[in-house]
Structure 1
Amino acid sequence: MAIRIKSHWKDEARDRSLPEVASALAFIAWRVALDKAINLHCERFVYRDDAQRLGVIQEYLAFLIQVADRLSHGMIDDDERRTLVTEFAKKVFAHVQDNTQDLLGPGDYGSPFIALLNERSGEYAEYSFADDGPSYAMLRHLGFEIQTLMGGGQENRWVIDQVMDKDGWDAYKSFAKAFRDLFE
C-alpha cells in the first residue's frame, strides 16, 4: 500500500526555518508510521488492541527520528542538526500525545514516548547507516522491537521478517525522499 506524501513547499522560493522543516517532517513521519502499522494489519498480523497498534507506530517513529538524524549528518552543521532533530522529536511527541489521547483517553502518553526514544537512540547508535540507507541489522532491530511488542504468537511469528524485509525499508525510502525534498 502506497501513501501519497506532500513533500514540496507551496512557495518554494521562501526559506524555511528548521522548526518549520521539523514540523513537516513530524507530520510525514506520523503518516508513514501509521501506514506501516495499517499495512501489518493488512498482511494479517494481529493487534491485541489500539494501545498495541499505537506502540508499533511509536517504534516506527523512533526509527524515523534516527533516520532523520543520520540523513542530516553532513548535510547541515552540527548545531543545525541538533536543532532539527530536537524540534522534530518535540513535534512527534505532540503527535503521539494528541493522537493517543484521542484513542485511549486522557493521560500522559508523550513522556513514555520520550523514554522509548531515548532508549532506542542508544540502541540504534550501534548500527551503521550508509548512503543507501539503514543497515540490515538496524532494520532487524526495528523488526525485533515490533515483534516483541506484538507478541510471538502463531499469527505474529513472521512480523519481524515483514518489517525487516519490506515495511521498514519502505518506511525509510518514503521518509528519506520526503526529507530530501523538504531541503531542496
Structure 2
Amino acid sequence: MRIKTVWFRKDGDTRGAEETAGAIASILWRLSDAAVINLSKAEFDIITPQRGFGIMAELQAFMVHLCDRMLYDRVDEDQRVPMIQTLAKRLATIMEDNIHMVVGDHDYPYQADFIAMVNRRSDEYATYDFIPEKPSYSVLTFLGNQIREIMGERDQSWVVDQIIEIETPEIVETIRKAIDGLLNQP
C-alpha cells in the first residue's frame, strides 16, 4: 500500500501532535480497510457491514496500541499521550462517519463505543511484552482471536493464520515507515 510518509514543508515548518495524529489516523483507516478487502479476496465471508466494521475496529485498536509503543521512546510523554488520544478520537470519528454512510444508523454512540473498545484492548495488549516493530506471536494470536470471534463459523479456524501471517506483517511495516517519516526520524 502506498502511503504518505513525509511532510511537504519548508525549512523550519513543524507539524503539531494533532496534525501528525490525523495523518496517522488516515493511514490506519486505510490499512484496516485494505485488510478487510484482503480477507474478502481470500474468500473469508465479510457478508455484512457490521462484520467488516467490527474487524476494522479490532485492527485499529491493535494499531493504536502499536503506534503508542512505537512512539514511547521517541516522543515526550506530554506529546505522546495527547497524540494517541487524538489518534483514537479521529479514528472514532472516521468509523462513525463511515457507519452512517454505509449503514445509515445514527441512533447509536459509535464513537464512545469505539473509544471504550480501544481502551479495553489497549489494557489487554499492555499485558504482552513485545518489540513494536516485531510483535510477538502471542500478541498477534490475541488479535487474531478477537477477529475470529467476529467471523462466521466457517472462517473461524483459518482467519487467525491469515491475520498473523498475511495481514499484520504489512500493517506493522507500514506503520513503522509512516511514523519514521512523519516524525522525520530514520
TM-score tier (shorter): over 0.9
- Please tell me whether the aligned partners of residues 69 and 132 of structure 2 are also in contact (alpha carbons under 8 angstroms): no
Structure-1 residue corresponding to 2:159: 159
Structure-2 residue corresponding to 1:124: 125
| Moved >3 Å (runs of 4+) | none
Q: Separation in 2 of the partners of 1:34 and 1:83?
A: 25
Structure-1 residue corresponding to 2:32: 33
- Quick one: percent identity of the two aligned structures? 32
In the TM superposition, residue 115 of structure 1 has moved relative to its aligned partner by 1.6
Structure-1 residue corresponding to 2:47: 48
Structure 1, unaligned runs of 5 or more: none
Q: Separation in 1 of the partners of 2:96 and 2:132?
A: 33
Q: Separation in 2 of the partners of 1:115 and 1:70?
A: 19
Q: TM-score scaled by structure 2? A: 0.92
Q: TM-score scaled by structure 1? A: 0.93
Aligned CA-pair RMSD: 1.3
Q: Separation in 1 of the partners of 2:54 and 2:149?
A: 11
Structure 2, unaligned runs of 5 or more: none
Q: Separation in 2 of the partners of 1:160 and 1:183?
A: 32
Structure-1 residue corresponding to 2:150: 149
Structure-1 residue corresponding to 2:3: 5
User: 2:56 aligned with 1:60, yes or no?
Assistant: no
- Please tell me whether the aligned partners of residues 46 and 156 of structure 1 are also in contact (alpha carbons under 8 angstroms): no
Q: Separation in 2 of the partners of 1:52 and 1:131?
A: 27
Q: How does 1:68-79 map to 2 (within 5 A)?
A: 68-79=67-78
